[in-house]
Amino acid sequence: MNGFCSSCGMPLKGENWEDYRGEFCLYCSDESGRLYPREIVQKSIADWLREISDGSSSADFIKRAEYYMKAMPAWADNS
């Protein structure tokens, strides 16, 4: 384990991350540690990007999430 989710980059240890699921965080995997389908993870990342934006953007957050995921090891070969 490298300390970060291979799907979204979220830290897997620290104050709130003691309960990780192998190489994926609890947002990207089910209780067994299996990675959720790409569309589910992409929507979750898009929602996170929207949440941290300044609110004035009319950006396509699904598209931004797609680009973000290309840099993640879990999705690099599936782009």
Domain assignment present for residue 43? The answer is yes
Mean pLDDT by 10 residues, the chain (79 residues): 83 64 85 92 94 79 94 82
Going by C-beta distance under 8 Å and a sequence separation of 6 or more, which residues neighbour residue 76? 70
Per the structure, the complete domain to which residue 73 belongs is given by: 38-78
How many domains are contained in the chain? 1
Domain assignment present for residue 61? The answer is yes
Domain assignment present for residue 66? The answer is yes
CB burial class (10 A; 0-12, 13-18, 19+) of residue 18? exposed
Residue 79 confidence (pLDDT)? 47
Residue 22 confidence (pLDDT)? 78
Task: Report residue 7 as tokens.
Answer: 């799907």
Domain assignment present for residue 49? The answer is yes
- Residue pair 7/25 in contact (Cβ under 8 Å)? The answer is yes
Residue 14 confidence (pLDDT)? 62
37-68 per-residue burial string, b: 16 or more CB within 10 A, e: under 16: eeeebbebbbebbeeeeeeeeeeebeebbbeb
